């Protein structure tokens, strides 16, 4: 079957953009050094406490993280809870999809014992509980990831509590889907948005979208940035915030910093913050 002319044209245009970004000349302006690493604790301080729980976020604050990162999902009865996986199987003593469970069912689960007996009885937090803790730790930022949802209307359930508490200037809502972030931007011009980029193609698209929105972060994998440093130079040239994930080794952090990356999402904020 022949592709429509519009599809062929779009494919050619995207290929051209990718080629320009990944073969940028070495003479491009390089990012200037900064005096402080920006460290975001991935799912809280998830090396020290069970991921995406209030103890993990508290440990992140105590460790001096500049931001916490977490994942938002919606229960069967439309409550926002903090969990990464589609199911509760890996990080609790229960089974089933978040979207098939009510809040009451989720609240009964133990989200800590799998990590260590010391955390037995730790519960899956709601977004409201997380925000109540977070608002007392200014100026720490939060990277709030949109995860598995039932309909696009669920995105509003995730964002409205943040806006009601006036936390938009301390928040960067992240997602792999540009269309999800478009919905967020329509809800508020002040809240930060962050494009999660698992590939070069996704990073180039995100940089294009971020060029005219100063309140935007582009967040590629560390592998993408190490292998394609021209993307780092382009982000610096257009003054776009750039953060690498997930950086859990000092040598990788050092390599990225030499290339001009100074913001890192990590499971171990003390390791990254303490590296030379």
* Segment 30-50, tens digit of pLDDT: 333 334 799 999 999 999 999
Alpha carbon 105 to its chain centroid, in Å, reads: 27
**Residues annotated as catalytic (active site), given as ranges:** 42, 84
CA atoms within 13 A on the CB side of 4: 3
User: In b/e form, how buried is each residue of 205-223, taking b as 16+ CB within 10 angstroms?
Assistant: bbbbbbeeeebbbbbbbbe
**Mean pLDDT of all residues in 200-206:** 98
- What is the model's pLDDT at position 273? 74
Question: How far, in whole angstroms, is CA 19 from its chain's centroid?
Answer: 27
Distance of CA 202 to the CA centre of its chain: 15
Tell me the domain boundaries of the chain: 33-273
The closest alpha carbon to 135, from 159, 184, 171, belongs to: 171
Output the CATH code of domain 33-273. 3.20.20.190
Instruction: Count CB-CB contacts under 10 A for residue 236.
Output: 17
Instruction: With cut-offs at 50, 70 and 90, classify the pLDDT of residue 276.
Output: low
CA 154, CA 30: separation in Å to the nearest integer? 40
Q: Is the peptide bond before 160 cis (omega within 30 degrees of 0)?
A: no
| Overall average pLDDT of the 146-172 stretch | 96
Mean pLDDT of 201-211: 98
pLDDT band for position 275 (50/70/90)?
A: low
pTM more than 0.85: yes
pLDDT at 28 over 70: no
Contact call for residues 192 and 216 (beta carbons, < 8 A): yes
**pLDDT value at residue 36:** 73
The string of pLDDT tens digits covering residues 209-262 is 999 999 999 999 999 999 999 999 999 999 999 999 999 999 999 999 999 999
d(CA 138, CA 47): 23
User: Does 112 have pLDDT greater than 70?
Assistant: yes
pLDDT value for 74: 98
């Amino acid at each position: 079957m022949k592709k429509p002319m519009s599809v062929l044209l779009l494919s050619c245009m995207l290929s051209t953009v990718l080629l320009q970004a990944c073969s940028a000349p070495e003479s491009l302006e390089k990012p200037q050094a900064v005096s402080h690493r920006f460290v975001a604790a991935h799912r809280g301080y998830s090396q020290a406490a069970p991921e995406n729980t209030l103890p993990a976020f508290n440990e992140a604050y105590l460790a001096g993280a500049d931001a916490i990162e977490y994942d938002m999902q919606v229960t069967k009865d439309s409550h926002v809870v903090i969990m990464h996986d589609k199911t509760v199987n890996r990080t609790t003593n229960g089974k089933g999809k978040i979207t098939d469970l009510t809040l009451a069912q989720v609240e009964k689960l133990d989200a800590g014992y799998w990590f260590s007996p010391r955390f037995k009885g730790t519960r899956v937090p709601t977004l409201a509980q997380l925000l109540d803790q977070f608002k007392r730790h200014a100026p720490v930022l939060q990277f709030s990831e949109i995860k598995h949802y039932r309909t696009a209307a669920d995105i509003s359930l995730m964002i409205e509590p943040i806006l009601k508490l006036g936390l938009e200037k301390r928040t960067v809502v992240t997602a792999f889907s540009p269309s999800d972030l478009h919905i967020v931007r329509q809800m508020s011009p002040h809240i930060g948005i962050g494009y999660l980029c698992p590939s070069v193609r996704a990073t180039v698209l995100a940089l294009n979208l971020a060029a005219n929105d100063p309140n935007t972060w582009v967040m590629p994998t560390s592998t993408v940035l190490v292998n394609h440093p021209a993307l780092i130079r382009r982000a610096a040239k257009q003054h776009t915030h750039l953060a690498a994930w997930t950086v859990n080794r000092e040598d990788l952090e050092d390599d990225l910093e030499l290339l001009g990356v100074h913001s890192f999402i990590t499971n171990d904020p003390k390791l990254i913050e303490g590296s030379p």
